[in-house]
Chains A and B, each alone.
Chain A
Amino acid sequence: MNGIPMEHGLILASILFSLGLAGLMLRRSMLFVLMSLEVMLNSAALAFVVGATAWNQPDGQAMFLLVITLAAAEASVGLALMIQLYQRFRSLDLDVASRMRG
């Protein structure tokens, strides 16, 4: 065996993305929703790195850096929203916050 086919890396990214999407639809706790979003962003970053190494271009890894920056921003804002949700409703269940009351 000589080298890894590019499809295998992309299939791994697809599996991780599908698992994250299933978790996003499955779970109602906001912590698990945020973690599923992290998994999905991570799989997108993995696809970028696979493309970068397959074609030996550094642009994919630069895009990986930007995806990590986006994940950090998303995690900080999402966790702040989660703290607010817990302080108002004493629960992380997203169904309790399904009604907009201002």
Chain B
Amino acid sequence: MELAFYLSSLVAVLATVGVITGTNPVHAIVYLIVSLIAVALVFFALGAPFAGALEIIVYAGAIMVLFVFVVMMLNLHPDAEREQTWTHPRYWLGPSVLALVLLAALVALLGQGGVGETIDGELLTAKAVGMTLFGPWLMVVELSAILLLAALVTASHVGRRSNPLRNNENRGGTP
């Protein structure tokens, strides 16, 4: 369990570095899928198999397929002119230093907190999660359903081919 946790963590971090430094969009998406599957393995190693299965099915299966379809539809090329700017430290030094300082602060706070809990890999079953979701959390489930409906309406409205404003102008211009 411990070996699986640390190995999957290493794979997740390395694949995420590959995501944020990549220049080819399809390669970056495949790196992101590897990172998500590694995080799912971390969930399995921690003793949350329901969360791990959901991570693979919903994140790596559904959301990443959406990304791949959009990249295939737009027919993107690797941006070559951006690639040359990577050699300049001026472009990546500031954000990296800021993120490193934030990471150091987070790790220092975690070290000071002294939570002291250890995860012994005891399984949390899907039944307990379902009893929580459809018992005291029922209103949150309804709210997330409304959120998904709003996202569906927004995506189908924003993602249309034609511009509605331009069409209205044209229609108003011609008698």
Contacts and interface: CB of A to CB of B under 8 A. Distances in A.
Contacts of B150: 73
B80 interface: no
A95 B152 CA distance: 27
Chain A contact-residue range equals: 35 or more
A52 B39 CA distance: 15
Nearest to B165: A102
A46 B128 contact: no
B72 interface: no
B50 A61 contact: yes
A4 B131 contact: no
Interface in A46-102: 46, 49-50, 52-56, 58-59, 61-62, 64-66, 68-77, 79-84, 86-87, 92-93
A15 B13 contact: yes
A96 to B, nearest CB: 13
B95 A25 contact: yes
B154 A31 contact: no
A25 B1 CA distance: 35
A87 B70 CA distance: 13
Given A14-B106, A23-B19, A53-B46, 20 more contacts: A3-B2, A4-B1, A4-B2, A4-B118, A7-B110, A7-B113, A14-B110, A18-B103, A22-B96, A29-B82, A32-B25, A35-B19, A39-B19, A39-B32, A46-B39, A53-B122, A54-B115, A62-B137, A71-B63, A84-B159
Interface of A: 1-12, 14-23, 25-29, 31-32, 34-36, 38-39, 42, 45-46, 49-50, 52-56, 58-59, 61-62, 64-66, 68-77, 79-84, 86-87, 92-93
